[in-house]
Amino acid sequence: MSSYLKLENIRKSFNKTEVVKDLSLEIKEGEIMSFLGPSGCGKSTTLNMIAGFLEVDRGKIEVAGESVHLLPPHKREMGMVFQNYALFPHMTVFDNVAYGLKIRKVKKQEIRKRVLEGLEMVRLAGYENRYPKELSGGQQQRVSLARALVIKPKLLLLDEPLSNLDAKLRQEMREEIVDIQKKVGITTIFVTHDQEEALAISDRIAVMYDGRIEQVDIPSAIYNNPKTDFVSEFIGEVNQVKGKVLEVYKDNKSKILFFGKELIIPSDSSQDTMLNFFIRPEKVQIVNFRNTEEDTGIEMKVDKKMFLGARTRYFLKVNGEQLIADISNTVLNPSQIQEESTVIVHLNPDDLLLRKGR
Ligand SMILES: Nc1ncnc2c1ncn2[C@@H]1O[C@H](COP(=O)(O)OP(=O)(O)OP(=O)(O)O)[C@@H](O)[C@H]1O
Ligand SMILES: [Mg+2]
């Protein structure tokens, strides 16, 4: 599918500090793309340039093949939802949702029809006459979603729409947003600094850092094949593991020493170099005794364990190095592993990600 939204080399500075740095990105029609990154990395600034609330210093923005970066916000036909709902407190739910249609001079009957449809879609039929203060946070956020959708925008822009809600409601609302987005088929950008939220709702994720996009990919690729150290560390949790190249073979494989044990893994580094790897805690496997004499697992001491509900986190130690293992409690009953005891740790060579630097 061809791209629907195209950002070409856009830049933005505030007081001579560049906060969006030559950013390019293409989003397909109907796609839900997340902007994910730490506070201050430029997510809202980028979104506001797309919406037209901020001008680009340089670069181009195209929607459906047409340049929009010189148009004022109301001519861009985009629906935006903010973190703080931004509802008009003195207007009823009906009038809040109708607002964008009124200023577009839509006929009264048509407004009524579209507002009621919009409220139906966000499961708020019957709430037309309430005022924002008579609604819960989740309901207010649904009103602002309805308000953004009724204008039938070309793009739906959501800037941390769920961050004021409690954990349970956040999860419900994110499922609802995805359902509505798929039903309407609207191209959507979802800004968040919550990696789990981004993994759960996105078709693709653009991971941002310091005004740039580090990687754009489907969620599983962002998680399993991070292209930079920043992406590895920002998404999910990682152990950092050092390995020494003991021997290099012809087929781009090497014998590497990890925690005093040898593993053969793909690598083309030369002998005696120290390599840095990441491994996710859930990829570390542990058993409480050696299966056979030839079992090549690494002996480690359980320094501490932490019950986390569905899984347990084990803090392991060997030769002063630490390794964290997250094990499902259905795979290994935590009562079988005592603190201070010794366990056997297995690392699958495929799960060791070579650090790339930035
Ligand atoms: N109007 C402004 N004037 C000056 N500096 C600004 C302005 N708006 C944003 N900035 C700065 O630009 C940088 C990017 O801000 P932005 O709001 O885009 O970050 P963000 O990724 O949305 O962060 P958060 O997750 O905290 O919302 C920050 O360093 C911020 O301080
Ligand atoms: Mg922001």
Same domain, 256 and 324: yes
For residue 264, what are the contacts with CB-CB under 8 A and spacing of at least 6?
A: 249, 253, 254, 255, 256, 349
Q: Name the nearest CA neighbour of 144 among 200, 90, 199, 84.
A: 84
266 lines ligand 1 (CB under 6 A): no
Domain finish residue from 176, 202, 234: 234
**Which CATH number belongs to the domain containing residue 130 in this structure?**
3.40.50.300
**Which CATH number belongs to the domain containing residue 322 in this structure?**
2.40.50.100
Please name the residue whose Cα sits nearest to atom 24 of ligand 1: 39
Query: Exposure of 35 by Cβ count < 10 A (0-12 exposed, 13-18 middle, 19+ buried)?
Result: buried
Domain finish residue from 234, 266, 292: 234
Task: For a ligand 1 pocket test, name from 16, 44, 191 the mutation site with the most ligand atoms within 8 angstroms of its C-beta.
Answer: 44
Query: What CA–CA distance (Å, rounded) separates 299 from 135?
Result: 57
Domain finish residue from 234, 265, 290: 234
Minimum-distance ligand 1 atom for the alpha carbon of 41 = 21
Strands 298-307 and 342-346: antiparallel
Same domain, 271 and 139: no
Q: Are the C-beta atoms of 45 and 12 separated by less than 8 Å?
A: yes
Q: Please give the chain's pLDDT, 358 residues, in tens.
A: 568 999 999 999 999 999 999 999 999 999 999 999 999 999 999 999 999 999 999 999 999 999 999 999 989 999 999 887 789 999 999 999 999 999 889 999 999 999 999 999 888 999 999 999 999 888 998 999 999 999 999 999 999 988 878 888 888 888 989 998 998 899 999 999 899 999 999 999 999 999 999 999 999 999 988 999 899 889 988 998 888 899 988 888 888 988 888 888 887 788 888 888 899 999 999 988 767 766 678 899 999 999 999 999 999 998 888 999 999 999 999 999 999 999 999 988 888 888 765 5
Same domain, 30 and 144: yes
Please name the residue whose Cα sits nearest to atom 28 of ligand 1: 40
126: domain range? 3-234
Same domain, 173 and 50: yes
- Tell me 247's DSSP state: E
Please name the residue whose Cα sits nearest to atom 9 of ligand 1: 45
Same domain, 130 and 161: yes
Predicted structure pTM score: 0.88
181 lines ligand 1 (CB under 6 A): no
Query: What CA–CA distance (Å, rounded) separates 106 from 262?
Result: 72
Number of domains into which the chain is organized:
2
Which residues have CB less than 5 Å away from ligand 2 (the ion)? 44
Task: For a ligand 1 pocket test, name from 10, 12, 14 the mutation site with the most ligand atoms within 8 angstroms of its C-beta.
Answer: 14
Same domain, 168 and 281: no
- Tell me 68's DSSP state: -
| Secondary structure, 3-state, 255-270 | EEEECCEEEEEECCCC
Angle at 130 between CA 129 and CA 136, to 5 degrees: 150
Same domain, 138 and 280: no
Please name the residue whose Cα sits nearest to atom 8 of ligand 1: 45
Same domain, 162 and 290: no
Same domain, 36 and 156: yes
Same domain, 71 and 181: yes
Same domain, 138 and 171: yes
Q: Which ligand is nearest to the CA of 40?
A: 1
Same domain, 225 and 246: no
